[in-house]
Amino acid sequence: MGELIRCENVSFSYENTGVLKSLSFSVNDGDYLCIVGENGSGKSTLTKGLLGLKQPAEGKIIRNDSIKSGGIGYLPQQTPTQKDFPASVFEVVLSGRLGKSGFHPFYTRKDKQDARDNIKKLGLEELIKRSYRDLSGGQQQRVLLARALCAGKKLLLLDEPVTGLDPIVTEEMYKLIEGLNRKEKITVIMVSHDISSAVKYASHILHLNYDKSFYGTANDYLMSPMGRRFFSDK
């Protein structure tokens, strides 16, 4: 499997205050990596780094050519304003193609077909003309996931994608993401506070801690001092 992203001794800081220190890990084609950690452990900072929105203070982030330009589909945490966005499901999903258009001001026929394909893939056909603002939280997250697929078919970066969803819808979303990873062979990086579900679904875990972080397979995490400490407190 090809390597999509590699972080080599990466450190981030804000105003000379360290947030992450000497972090090294890689993401290969087909991986399902969950990034977990306490609030303030640097999950949001690392997300910005992986997207190229923040440069590390030390070390380097190396990206495969296949994801350097528009190869990452990003699903950010939703804000109240975004939940009330006045557009149709089709328009929201199609907007994921904006980064693919370059200097072309209009959507192409291929863009529109790609949006329809992803709407079908996520079972949203019956909602295609509905207003996004009128959907349930779970339906909105499916729409945003379809939008992320339009932005990047190689790698999905999902930031807390089940926040605010009820337990049944949360499980459905986890199953949907697992299917995209295993059946569609899409690489997934998920930022999450739900460590129990991360271990259940992910192939690899990155548990952030400023002094000593863990990176490895989900099974290795369960056997590690950090993993054992977490689950012994449950």
5-51 pLDDT per residue, tens: 999 999 998 777 778 889 999 999 999 999 998 888 889 999 999 99
Q: Can you give the pTM of this predicted structure?
A: 0.92
pLDDT in tens, 165-220: 999 999 999 999 999 999 999 999 999 988 889 899 999 999 998 778 899 999 99
Domain boundaries defined on the chain: 1-70+194-234
Distance separating alpha carbons of residues 36 and 205, to the nearest angstrom: 7
User: CA torsion, points 118, 123, 125, 126, in degrees to nearest 10?
Assistant: -160
Distance separating alpha carbons of residues 68 and 81, to the nearest angstrom: 29
Closest to 9 measured CA to CA, from 54, 50, 61: 61
Q: Which CATH superfamily is domain 1-70+194-234 in?
A: P-loop containing nucleotide triphosphate hydrolases (3.40.50.300)
Asked whether the predicted pLDDT for residue 100 surpasses 70, the reply is: no
